């Protein structure tokens, strides 16, 4: 066996399963197949005009040079203003670090918080990258499996049981990716009461979907609303990707204690460098003037969700959980497992999703990638007609299982 030049860290790296499935779907499309991709967490609507125009303006005005590693002061001012309007929190610009995507904000936060063997509590179903990002910080991801009886959310009892002297971070997302469920104020207060007993533990609150809500609320409840005393150890993560449909612009941010935020900025200065100057300029008017667009987006998503839920009723074998936010459907497929397709036994949700893609050309993400086998995540950030067609193909597969 030839020796490898790769580090142990590189050898243990895992490809992002959602991005892998996106690539596989595009490969099938290139071969001429009509693939419907319901995998990646990406809006299908364009970046809002006010942001797109600002991007053009940045180029025309020559705003194309390096910025400070942690972002421009102008963008930081817009971020703290937006947070004040949305949640009532007062932060200084020195408590904000702008990063090349919110994913890097989480990655960097774990890098600056964790020492080797520190534990990071992550509950499943989780966003696919959380455990690997913890491992890349030399930390130990502690997975707490959550089930339907708690709407796939961690309970105070589960959290307390997982916490110990090695715990450094509790990382969670609300609305959840992949389920779309939201932690209520009461649930957040109960979790906060547990966390108060463990002063070493930091909280990373992934708020990427907190503006995509179906109940008319401005944004999802926040743990700091219920326990402002946790502010000194809470890092808020957000960005332009989801609510503002700016995925390719790669702009995210972390908000939190000045010492931690300074470290995130320093870490970025030695890794990615400054975020795109053009993207930073573009996201400012989105934050300042994008509210009508977000309201319209939520109405569109709510209508798409309603249509999808109605169509899924035709597949009795599926159990579909109605989300409260984001743009995902979490679907139990356990009733179709153990059957056969063309002589091959469908033993897992991963098997089911592979056949769905390779034979019926619909790409979804199996529950195994989120830590909960027996389920799949379906994005409804897609036109209703294509969604209905995709569900019809799923129904065809289920009907052909013996």
Which tens digits make up the pLDDT trace of 350-380?
Answer: 999 999 999 999 999 999 999 999 999 999 9
Could you report the per-residue pLDDT of 135-190, keeping only the tens digit for each?
A: 999 999 999 999 999 999 999 999 999 999 999 999 999 999 999 999 999 999 99
pLDDT at 3: 61
Q: How far apart are CA 374 and CA 359, in angstroms?
A: 20
pLDDT at 43: 93
Query: Are 216 and 80 in a shared domain?
Result: yes
**Residue 84 has which token pair?**
């004040």
Query: Are 83 and 223 in a shared domain?
Result: yes
Looking from the CA of 291 toward its CB, the CA atoms found within 13 Å total 9
Query: Are 348 and 302 in a shared domain?
Result: yes
**What pairs with residue 120 in β-bridges?**
141, 169
Q: Which one of 258, 275, 290 terminates a domain?
A: 290
Cβ 29 vs Cβ 8: under 8 Å: no
pLDDT at 19: 76
User: Is 25 within the bounds of a domain?
Assistant: yes
Q: How far apart are CA 29 and CA 33, in angstroms?
A: 5
Q: Which one of 272, 290, 308 terminates a domain?
A: 290
pLDDT at 2: 60
User: Is 51 within the bounds of a domain?
Assistant: no
Selection from 180, 175, 212, 178 nearest residue 299 by Cα: 212
Asked if pLDDT for residue 24 goes beyond 80, the answer is yes
- Chain mean pLDDT for the chain: 96
User: Is 53 within the bounds of a domain?
Assistant: no
Q: From edge to edge, which strands make up the β-sheet containing 96-99?
A: 96-99, 252-255, 234-239, 202-206, 167-173, 119-124, 140-145
CA distances from 395 to 126, 341, 349, 362, 389 (A): 27, 13, 15, 11, 10
Query: Are 272 and 315 in a shared domain?
Result: no
Q: What is the mean pLDDT of residues 240-267?
A: 98
User: Is 255 within the bounds of a domain?
Assistant: yes
Query: Are 185 and 312 in a shared domain?
Result: no
Query: Are 22 and 79 in a shared domain?
Result: no
User: Is 2 within the bounds of a domain?
Assistant: no
Asked if pLDDT for residue 1 goes beyond 60, the answer is no
User: Is 341 within the bounds of a domain?
Assistant: yes
**What pairs with residue 124 in β-bridges?**
145
Residue 239: give its domain's CATH number. 3.40.640.10
Q: What is the mean pLDDT of residues 62-89?
A: 97
For the chain, the domain total comes to 2
Q: How far apart are CA 221 and CA 196, in angstroms?
A: 19
Q: Which one of 264, 290, 316 terminates a domain?
A: 290
Query: Are 252 and 156 in a shared domain?
Result: yes
pLDDT at 342: 92
Cβ 175 vs Cβ 213: under 8 Å: yes
User: Is 127 within the bounds of a domain?
Assistant: yes
Query: Are 308 and 251 in a shared domain?
Result: no
pLDDT at 15: 80
First and final CA of the chain: distance in angstroms? 44
Query: Are 248 and 316 in a shared domain?
Result: no
**Residue 62 has which token pair?**
């020559």
Could you report the per-residue pLDDT of 184-235, keeping only the tens digit for each?
A: 999 999 999 999 999 999 999 999 999 999 999 999 999 999 999 999 999 9
Query: Are 212 and 351 in a shared domain?
Result: no
User: Is 204 within the bounds of a domain?
Assistant: yes
pTM for the whole thing? 0.95
Could you report the per-residue pLDDT of 127-139, keeping only the tens digit for each?
A: 999 999 999 999 9
Residue 380: give its domain's CATH number. 3.90.1150.10
Q: Which domain holds residue 86?
A: 64-290
Q: What is the mean pLDDT of residues 262-289?
A: 98
pLDDT at 14: 79
In the chain, how long is the greatest CA-to-CA distance? 63
């Amino acid at each position: 066996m030839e020796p490898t030049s790769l580090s142990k860290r590189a050898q243990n790296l895992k490809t992002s399963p959602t991005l892998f499935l996106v690539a596989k779907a595009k490969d099938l499309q290139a071969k001429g197949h009509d693939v419907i991709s319901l995998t990646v967490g990406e809006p299908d609507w364009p970046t809002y005009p006010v942001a797109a125009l600002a991007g053009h303006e940045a180029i025309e005005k020559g705003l194309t040079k390096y910025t400070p590693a942690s972002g421009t002061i102008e963008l930081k001012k817009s971020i703290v203003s937006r947070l004040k309007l949305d949640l009532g929190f007062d932060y200084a610009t020195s408590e904000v670090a702008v990063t090349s995507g919110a994913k890097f904000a989480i990655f960097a936060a774990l890098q600056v918080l964790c020492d080797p063997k520190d534990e990071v509590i992550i509950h499943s179903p989780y966003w696919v990258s959380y455990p690997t990002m913890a491992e890349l910080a030399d930390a130990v991801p502690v997975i707490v499996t959550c089930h339907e009886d708690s709407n796939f959310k961690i309970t105070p009892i589960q959290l307390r049981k997982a916490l110990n002297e090695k715990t450094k971070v509790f990382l969670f997302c609300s609305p959840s990716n992949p389920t779309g469920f939201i932690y209520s104020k009461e649930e957040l207060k109960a979790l906060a009461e547990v966390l108060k007993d463990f002063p070493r533990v930091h909280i990373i609150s992934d708020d990427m979907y907190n503006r995509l809500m179906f109940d008319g609320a401005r944004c999802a409840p926040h743990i700091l609303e219920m326990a402002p005393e946790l502010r000194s150890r809470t890092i808020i993560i957000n960005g332009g990707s989801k609510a503002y449909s700016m995925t390719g612009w790669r702009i995210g941010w972390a908000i939190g204690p000045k010492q931690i935020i300074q470290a995130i900025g320093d870490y970025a200065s030695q890794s990615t460098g400054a975020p795109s100057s053009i993207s930073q300029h573009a996201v400012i008017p989105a934050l300042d003037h994008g509210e009508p667009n977000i309201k319209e987006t939520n109405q569109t998503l709510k209508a798409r969700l309603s249509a999808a839920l109605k169509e899924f009723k035709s597949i009795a074998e599926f159990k579909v959980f109605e989300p409260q936010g984001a743009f995902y459907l979490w679907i139990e497929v356990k009733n179709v497992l153990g059957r056969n397709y063309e002589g091959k036994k469908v033993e897992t949700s991963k098997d089911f999703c592979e056949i769905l893609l390779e034979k019926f050309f619909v790409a979804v993400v199996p529950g195994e990638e989120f830590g909960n086998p027996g389920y799949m995540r379906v994005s409804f950030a897609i036109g209703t007609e294509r969604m209905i067609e995709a569900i019809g193909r799923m129904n065809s597969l289920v009907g052909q299982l013996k």
